Amino acid sequence: MSGTPVSSMLLMLVASLIGSSGAVLLKLGAMELNKGFWHILNLKLAAGVAVYLVSWYVFVLGIRHGELSVLYPMVSLGYIWTLLWARLFFKEPFTREKFAGLALILLGVFFVGLGSK
């Protein structure tokens, strides 16, 4: 952990937050598809993809310095934010399965990060 600058961790945190807002925009845009497939060309989806690109850029900035085992799993923090936004904006329930599954996935990504150079 000592080899990882706080600035890199902050960048990863920011990337995960931006990415999770991109996920909310994708969900909002996806709901337009109930009117027909070609509603896939809508502003919310375009905004979602744009926000993803921004989050990817911040991610690349963040991952340049420091240990991947610390930085890699931080992107998965986005899954936690998304769980919160989904409850807040789309009234999706919290379930035990979601918490347990998410915890396991975070642990798994942590291990993948440990194994990455």
For another protein, the binding residues (CB under 8 A) are 23-24, 26-27, 29-31, 33-34, 40, 45, 49, 76, 78-79, 82-83, 85-87, 90, 92-98, 100-105, 107-116
Question: Which CB, 61 or 80, lies closer to another protein?
Answer: 80
Contacts from 108-113 at CB under 8 Å and sequence distance 24+? 109/72, 109/73, 109/75, 109/76, 110/69, 110/72, 110/73, 112/72, 113/68, 113/69, 113/70, 113/71, 113/72, 113/73
CB of 93 to another protein, least distance (A): 5
CB of 84 to another protein, least distance (A): 9
Q: Coil, strand, or helix at residue 107?
A: helix
Contact 66/3 with Cβ under 8 angstroms? Answer: yes
CB of 49 to another protein, least distance (A): 7
Question: Which CB, 61 or 112, lies closer to another protein?
Answer: 112
Question: Which CB, 7 or 84, lies closer to another protein?
Answer: 84
